């Protein structure tokens, strides 16, 4: 059973896009791949993962740009990067942490693609690199304790 306190909300800079999830994200991590660096215009992308079953847009929807293996959703009004969707994993979506109303509540626990990390970026090396390898392209199965 979920309560209102589990609800996660957020949106883009201008407010044209708003979203909510009934439950907290199941995974939060830093992606250091070159596409995320470009796509969010920053040192890395910090992604928050939700199941589609729990997630919905409550105002507006992103405009999507398709890149290799994924599509990236942004606000057509203010240009904020909002969402990231792997084309091979339609049951979940990720949202860029900075668009959450309370990003401070969800601390990343993994890194991806540290091989392309910008060299002078200091990362928390205690977090493991959960980049999918070999046959695994599923980010949601990449975390094992």
Where on the chain is the footprint of Zn ion (CB under 5 A)?
Answer: 12, 14, 16, 31, 33, 36, 75, 77-78
Report the nearest approach of Zn ion to the CB of residue 8 (Å). Answer: 18
Question: Which residue(s) pair with 21 in the sheet?
Answer: 8, 55
| Smaller CB separation from Zn ion, 68 or 125 | 68
| Smaller CB separation from Zn ion, 21 or 37 | 37
Report the nearest approach of Zn ion to the CB of residue 2 (Å). Answer: 27
DSSP state of 68: T
Kind and range of the H or E run holding 92: strand 92-96
Question: Helix or strand or coil: residue 126?
Answer: coil
Report the nearest approach of Zn ion to the CB of residue 108 (Å). Answer: 13
Q: List Cβ neighbours of 60 (8 Å cut-off, separation of 6 or more).
A: 12, 16, 17, 18, 75
| Smaller CB separation from Zn ion, 11 or 21 | 11
């Amino acid at each position: 059973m979920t309560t209102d306190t589990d609800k996660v909300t957020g949106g883009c800079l201008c407010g044209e896009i708003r979203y909510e999830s009934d439950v907290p994200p199941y995974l939060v991590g830093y992606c250091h791949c070159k596409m995320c660096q470009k796509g969010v215009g920053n040192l890395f992308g910090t992604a928050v993962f939700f199941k589609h079953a729990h997630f919905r847009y409550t105002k507006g929807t992103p405009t999507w740009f398709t890149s290799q293996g994924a599509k990236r959703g942004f606000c057509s009004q203010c240009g904020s990067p909002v969402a990231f969707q792997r084309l091979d994993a339609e049951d979940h979506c990720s949202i860029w942490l900075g668009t959450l109303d309370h990003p401070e509540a969800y601390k990343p626990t993994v890194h991806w693609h540290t091989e392309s990390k910008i060299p002078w970026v200091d990362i928390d090396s205690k977090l493991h690199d959960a980049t999918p390898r070999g046959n695994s392209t599923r980010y949601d199965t990449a975390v094992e304790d």
